[in-house]
Amino acid sequence: MPQYNPPLRDMQFVLHELLDVTGQLKSYPAHAELDADTINAVLEEGGKFCSQVLAPLNLSGDQEGCTLDRETHAVRTPKGFKEAYAQYVEGGWPSLSSDPTYGGQGLPHVVNQSFYEMLNGANQAWTMYPGLAHGAYECLHAHGSPEQKQLYLPKLVSGQWIGTMCLTEPHCGTDLGMLRTKAEPQADGSYRLSGSKIFISGGESDFAENIVHLVLARLPEAPAGSKGISLFVVPKFLPQADGKLGARNPIFCTGLEHKMSINGSATCQITLDGAAGWLVGEPHRGLAAMFVMMNAARIGVGMQGLGLTEVAYQNAVAYAKDRLQMRSLSGPKATDKPADPIIVHPDVRKMLLTARAYAEGGRAFAMWTTLQIDRSLVTDDEDERRECEDLVALATPIVKAFLTDNAWLATSHCMQVFGGHGYVKEWGMEQFVRDARINMIYEGTNTIQSLDLLGRKVLADNGKKLKAFGRLIAEFVEEEGVREDMQEFVNPLADLGDKVTKLTTELGMKAFGNADEVGGAAVDYLRVVGHLVYGYFFARMAKIALDQVKAQGDAVEPFYTAKLHTARFYFAKLLPETAGLIRSARTGVAPLMAMDEALF
């Protein structure tokens, strides 16, 4: 059975040495008492929950899956899942970064996000339930009425209630403007919702006494398309005035999807048969309100990819050190054994280092992105808030797509390290690969994320957001470019930055003549920009490692030596992928669209 060890040392490095989270946030009143010891203690305890409670349920949960009672519409989750959630609630984990006004602990989101990486590394399917509940909390916190906040937020923050988002319908996925679910106004100010939803993660479960569904629907005579969508809160059980649960609301799970993986997560078909709901925010502005939850979910999916990359790497390394197979090409290394451990072979090391680099680069980028979210929420400076929000808007599609694309590659590599054993269920590696595959699809496919990045986040504002990130790179290059020992990192970073600028300008000019050029280049473009971002963070991490190696001398902590090796591997073996991607992006849309449809 696979094991999971929380990557606490690297998390501490990213949070304290790379990002200086406490230094960045202590000047704001909301986090004035924040200190590194508190962050470390929280993550250490969270890591114990992940490794000791959740990880042992991952393999069995995948094999057992969820069960639907069609008569009662109740869903039973795999053995141990419900009990693990009770421990999660008892430990106060749902409230970690929530507003103290509603019972939260008020810790920064960046701490919560680190915890969620560990949750996902231990058991992605289980983590989807509380993850969606936190998203529902965020949405209602931002757009709910005072009455809705008072009714729902304390229950979501405590974990007593759980939440979901109900978007997709049988005939429409990402194109939500086509949805048909109807909401009829009632005399008491409520609405009656009727329609069908599919692919609703956690749409029904046995975790909590109530489920708070956030549902997109159309009011009568609503405008066509996405401008006619409203958002409603639709509880499974109707809360009464005294806070107790009343009648069962007719929003039911009518089927479970039979999936390739994440089998412990109930992916539900949902039917609303005149279910009572209440409008959240303004009429016809539901999609904008729901984007709070959707964007949080997109970053959350990136964290799923990161968690899987880390756990797959850990298990592959352990196996590679233990598995004996053949001799090293340069001569025997384990002379006391009949063969060498496979970690001596160059390509095995390449696969392991690829996974390691994608985990460490993804962790740095995701935590930096979440830190910008924290800054945007606590600052009173409007310019600072807009700057942070712009950087988060730029980063979100990259976090979602680049981290999950890399997870697919990394988990596949790590399964390959196991050879035939990787294809066998009991080792758990093939589950990581299967789990990783959905992350490239849901919450907006990675192609949708690529279109969002190039079309909306870059070209739509003439590159303003991209230039803001580019200034961070330029400042770093100018500051560190004079160091001889930083040339191997600074030079390729600066070179790629120039190439991204030229590519962006070229694609923008092409798009003026033919908008399909965006579609033809977007996926390649996102991957190039993803490498630019990782290159920036690996260069920063290499600088810290170099400084520590110099300062500590022969007594240097091995962590810094390993960090330096990983950074060098990234620049030597992974960053060069951008050359082919840039060439592919420049070929334009013609090779994709020239062939007549009849010839397919």
Mapped onto helix, strand or coil, the DSSP state of residue 379 is coil
Q: How many CA atoms lie within 13 A of 443 on its CB side?
A: 31
Instruction: List, in order, residues 6 or more apart from 488 with CB less than 8 Å away.
Output: 568, 571
- CA 306/CA 407 separation, integer angstroms: 7
- CA 540/CA 482 separation, integer angstroms: 14
For residue 276, what is the DSSP state?
A: E
| Residue 500 buriedness (CB in 10 A; 0-12 / 13-18 / 19+) | buried
Instruction: List, in order, residues 6 or more apart from 139 with CB less than 8 Å away.
Output: 165, 214, 231, 280, 289, 290, 292, 293
Residue 160: its H or E element: none
Residue 274: its H or E element: strand 267-280
Residue that the structure tokens 């916190």 belong to:
141
What is the rounded (10 degree) CA torsion for 336, 339, 341, 343? 120
With b meaning 16 or more CB within 10 Å and e meaning fewer, what string describes 106-119?
Answer: ebbbbbbbbbbbbb
pTM across the whole model: 0.98
What pLDDT is recorded for position 291?
A: 80
Q: Comparing C-alpha atoms, which of 187, 403, 418 is closest to residue 318?
A: 418
Token pair belonging to 539: 């260069």
DSSP symbols for 436-459:
HHHTTTSSS-HHHHHHIIIIIIIG
With b meaning 16 or more CB within 10 Å and e meaning fewer, what string describes 195-210?
Answer: bbbbbbbbbbbebbeb
For residue 259, what is the DSSP state?
A: -
Which H, E and C letters describe 489-503, residue by residue? Answer: HHHHHHHHHHHHHHH
Instruction: List, in order, residues 6 or more apart from 416 with CB less than 8 Å away.
Output: 351, 422
Token pair belonging to 544: 């810290």
Q: Give the pairing type, strands 210-217 and 267-280.
A: unpaired
- What own/partner pairs with CB < 8 Å and gap ≥ 24 does 582-587 have? 582/499, 582/503, 582/524, 582/528, 584/524, 585/503, 585/507, 585/520, 585/521, 585/524, 585/525, 585/528, 586/503, 586/506, 586/521, 587/520
What pLDDT is recorded for position 173?
A: 80
Whether the CB-CB separation of 582 and 504 falls below 8 Å is answered with no
Q: Comparing C-alpha atoms, which of 460, 462, 577, 451 is closest to residue 521?
A: 451
Residue that the structure tokens 């409203």 belong to:
230
What pLDDT is recorded for position 191?
A: 98
Mapped onto helix, strand or coil, the DSSP state of residue 91 is coil
Mapped onto helix, strand or coil, the DSSP state of residue 293 is helix
- CA 397/CA 291 separation, integer angstroms: 13
Q: Comparing C-alpha atoms, which of 472, 294, 533, 370 is closest to residue 39?
A: 370
Q: What is the pLDDT along the chain (600 residues), one digit of tens a residue?
A: 899 999 999 999 999 999 999 999 999 999 999 999 999 999 999 999 999 999 999 999 999 999 999 999 999 999 999 999 999 999 999 999 999 999 999 999 999 999 999 999 999 999 999 999 999 999 999 999 999 999 999 999 999 999 999 999 999 888 888 899 999 999 999 999 999 999 999 999 999 999 999 999 999 999 999 899 999 999 999 998 787 899 999 999 999 999 999 999 999 999 999 999 999 999 999 988 888 878 888 999 999 999 999 999 999 999 999 999 999 999 999 999 999 999 999 999 999 999 999 999 999 999 999 999 999 999 999 999 999 999 999 999 999 999 999 999 999 999 999 999 999 999 999 999 999 999 999 999 999 999 999 999 999 999 999 999 999 999 999 999 999 999 999 999 999 999 999 999 999 999 999 999 999 999 999 999 999 999 999 999 999 999 999 999 999 999 999 999 999 999 999 999 999 999 999 999 999 999 999 999
Residue that the structure tokens 């983590």 belong to:
127
- CA 269/CA 203 separation, integer angstroms: 8
- CA 408/CA 416 separation, integer angstroms: 12
3-state helix, strand, coil in the chain (%, to 5): 65, 10, 25
- Residue 214: beta bridge partners? 165, 233
Instruction: List, in order, residues 6 or more apart from 383 with CB less than 8 Å away.
Output: none
Whether the CB-CB separation of 310 and 230 falls below 8 Å is answered with no
Tell me the CA end-to-end span of the chain in Å, nearest whole number. Answer: 44
- CA 542/CA 374 separation, integer angstroms: 25
488 catalytic per annotation: no
- Go through the chain and tell me how many residues it has: 600
Mapped onto helix, strand or coil, the DSSP state of residue 373 is helix
Q: Comparing C-alpha atoms, which of 105, 332, 92, 85 is closest to residue 206?
A: 85
Mapped onto helix, strand or coil, the DSSP state of residue 201 is strand
Residue 241: count other Cβ atoms within 10 Å of its Cβ: 6
Whether the CB-CB separation of 55 and 124 falls below 8 Å is answered with no
For residue 341, what is the DSSP state?
A: B
Residue that the structure tokens 């290159």 belong to:
535
- CA 122/CA 124 separation, integer angstroms: 7
Mapped onto helix, strand or coil, the DSSP state of residue 123 is helix
What pLDDT is recorded for position 243?
A: 76
- CA 173/CA 445 separation, integer angstroms: 10
Whether the CB-CB separation of 251 and 234 falls below 8 Å is answered with yes
Residue that the structure tokens 């939803």 belong to:
197
Catalytic, out of 117, 360, 443, 517 = 443
Q: What is the CA radius of gyration of the chain?
A: 24
